[in-house]
Amino acid sequence: MKSYFLFESLIEREKTAPMLLAARQLIEYLNIDAIPFTEAKADVGSEFIGLDKLKFLEHYAYNLTRASNEKRDILCVEQSSFISHAYTKELLLNDEALYAHVAKQLAIKHITLNLESNVVCLEQVLIEEVSIDALKQHIKHPFSHFQTALFLGSNACRAQKYRKETLLSQLLTTLKLKSVSHASMYESDGYEVLRTASLLAKQLASRAMLDMFDNAADFVLISDARSFVMFDFYQQELEKIAGREINLPILSLPQLLLLAFGMHDKKSIGLAQHKVPITLI
């Protein structure tokens, strides 16, 4: 099995801590060689590239260089950090001027730009390294009696350049989990405007949540730390804006898998820290 750095510096870590806790548990449970990426700079979100492209590239190039020097790939367990690292590597490898600029900026800090490391998503590691057959052996509680609303968000179109959505579909099929059809799968969760237009952000999030709720989802499966913040941490506020009760649990992929594997200790897999109670177990 390949060696990885587990990227843990998610956005708003005080709010997204449950996602990280579950990811660590899953990595340990499956014996994946992924150690904490303690020297990594924190994710700032791919939307930051529109504010300062060069600073954005330098930020993630630092992480790529650190990982490359240690001969480990970067394992991202959610979409925001995955896109930012993968996008940075692609831009620098395909633009000599950008590469030279970022290399010069890092050299000032006595760092030699190195882009040898790959950036991989959790789904890819689970299917290509662990394998579907191995995962099936761990499943004790399939989700055959539940249906989820899969929310990928408006940044998913960028993510598709670096990962295949069919990987996630394979995992859901393995868990015997059905996905409901809903219009908001690729809509905005509102996070990108949260700091500048809080009301608008929560209106966007509440619209998506109501769509998934009205399509009879038992819970929402998110792929991005930003979506977790909007849908779990702020859900009570979303209900006030919508004028309706939603009470729709939010899960990450690691949490979903751990539940299927029979790990029902809410504290150990982060569920005890959710704002919206998990009633699936």
Report residue 56's pLDDT band, with 50, 70 and 90 as the boundaries.
very high
Residue type, 152: L
| Average pLDDT along the chain | 94
Segment 201-254, tens digit of pLDDT: 999 999 999 999 999 999 999 999 999 999 999 999 999 999 999 999 999 999
Rounded to a whole number of angstroms, the CA Rg of the chain reads 19
- pTM of structure: 0.94
Domains in the chain with CATH codes: 4-122 (1.20.1050.140), 132-273 (3.40.50.11810)
- pLDDT score for 158: 60
Report residue 279's pLDDT band, with 50, 70 and 90 as the boundaries.
confident
> Which helix (H) or strand (E) is 202 found in, with range?
helix 198-214
- pLDDT score for 166: 86
- pLDDT score for 51: 82
Mean pLDDT across the stretch 20-43? 97
List C-alpha distances in Å: 53 to 58, 76, 98, 110, 210.
Answer: 9, 21, 10, 22, 35
Bridge partner residues of 177 (DSSP): none
Q: How does DSSP classify residue 275? A: S
How many beta carbons lie within 10 A of that of residue 110, not counting itself?
A: 6
- pLDDT score for 145: 94
- pLDDT score for 157: 58
